[in-house]
Amino acid sequence: MKKSIITAGVAFSLAVPGAMVYADSPQKSALEVPSIEEKYEDSFEIGAAVEPEHLEDPIRAEILKKHYSSVVAENVMKPINIQPEEGEFNFEEADQIVEFAKENDMDLRFHTLVWHSQVPDWFFQDENGDPMVDEEDPEKREENKQLLLDRIENHIETVVERYKDDVDAWDVVNETIDPNASNERGLRESPWYQITGDEYIKKAFETTRRVAGEDAKLFINDYNTEVEPKRTHLYNLVEGLLEDGVSIDGVGHQAHIQIGWPTIEETRKSLQMFADLGLDNQITELDVSIYGWPPSGEYNTYEEIPEEVLEAQADKYDELFRLYEEMDTSISNVTFWGIADNHTWLDDRASEYSDDGIGKDAPFVFSDRYTTKPAYWAIMDDNEGAAAMFSDVTEDMTHYEAIDALYREGVINGFTDELFGPGESLTRIQAALMLERIMGLSFDGEVNHGMADVAPSYEETVDNVTEAGIFAGDEEGNFNPYENMTREQMAKVLTEAFDLAEGEEVPEAEVTDRNGTSLAPYIDKVIHAGVASGYEDGSFGVGDDIKRMDFAAMLYNAWQQ
């Protein structure tokens, strides 16, 4: 009986460790792929921000119904839309979204009752139409303060009374924190603050609770909640409000983020801080910009965006949703700030900062043509390990730890869509592809390998691995891409790739067939490095094809060195 070693092979798709590979994932219509909301139905609601006209577009409406279990108005429930003039309420567009949610049994988030932006000027004008913030007389300032608080109360009473049976979560106050503010609490010095201090916040929550009832879910919402000093300012505000008896159920984290910012640990810490206060967390406006800050806006059209940028975005989404699932007892809703890349506020921002006034962003998991992006496949990856992915892999099989670890790291994919092929032999080109990607080798733009039997699709890979000294051609100038690799050949390749240290000669008594090959020194190295071992019968298996599961274990062990 032969002893299996920790090692395996697959028609692998490899990446730099820590990154998943989705470039080869198919682009399919959003209406033809599995539902996002069904994927996460046991963890949290999946939402999207919409405009009323989106609900009249057959494609957008069907995508909403298929992939999302929650909706929020992008604009039409903000104060300037609901009450543009004092006492004149406009509910027509808001009603459209409410009815769509009801008809399709979707959760509804209300955004937002109080905000410093998209609020009509009349809120902050006194009875003579003059700006309240300019008033210097203390008595009149106090009158203005009470007038503004009364206006907040009236606005909230009217809106909440209308929708209290339809709304599942209320963004009561939006964006109260400004880390650049002059006050030590970091409260945004908006007209709300200048006229009332922090009383407008308390009035808003108290009024919403009184009208909506005890079962209503009330949120304070903000952006950049992951980073300091804003995170601590928001935490201190919320903690203080709770101590004062103000009824708050949760914190909304907008999550307007970038591929490289913030870190996943910053995000985790923020979510946990508020969970430790006994509060719910909701991700309320998620989009992942393809730019940094400020955005360069360097891509004028969707077609100009490089695939590697979308791959990096997919890695970010994968990282985020792994965290969200890990913390799903503290997160009740994850809402994207849009449906697909053909409608996003980030286009305006990219254009504003670009050199030519034109810029295109692509922050979501569906493209501008409603097809799947690498980010979609990233968040739909089951994240449950190799046993869940491959029908021929079980948790009790030999080398499962190695197979599973490499799968979770995005180092290996399957032989087919559902099979790992643990007992299949590994070819030279398959090994070359794996090692190229795991070593992070990149093509310099010029093919130099000079081998005649390499297909065009593999030219760059072969060039990379031969220039790196990991592989070489035969005496006749061929690479032999489809030739199976033997175990001793793999020992040589892994030694070259991972620069394994020189090892003492392994006695023939320990490896009976060691002296039967010129590659014996490489066998010595992989054995001494703990990358591989011999069979139970005392042989190394010289001349045997390397099997996929055995190569996975060897690769995993070498990678861990």
Annotated catalytic residues are 285
Alpha helices, DSSP H only, in 108-167?
Answer: 138-163
**Positions of E strands within 292-385:** 331-336
| Distances in whole angstroms, Cα of residue 163 to Cα of each of 77, 144, 158 | 11, 29, 9
Q: Which residues have a Cβ under 8 Å from the Cβ of 24 and sit 6 or more positions away?
A: 13
- Sequential DSSP letters for 91-118: -HHHHHHHHHHHHTT-EEEEEEEEESSS
E-assigned strand segments in 223-368? 250-253, 256-258, 280-289, 331-336
Which contiguous run of DSSP H or E holds residue 362? Answer: none
Partners of 108 in the β-ladder: 71
- Please report, in angstroms and rounded to a whole number, the separation of the first and last CA atoms in the chain: 29
Helix runs in 418-544, H state only = 428-438, 459-467, 487-498, 520-528
- Angle of helix 548-559 versus helix 400-408 axis, rounded to 10: 70
CA pair distance 397, 549, nearest whole angstrom: 10
Contact status, residue 458 vs residue 478, Cβ threshold 8 Å: no
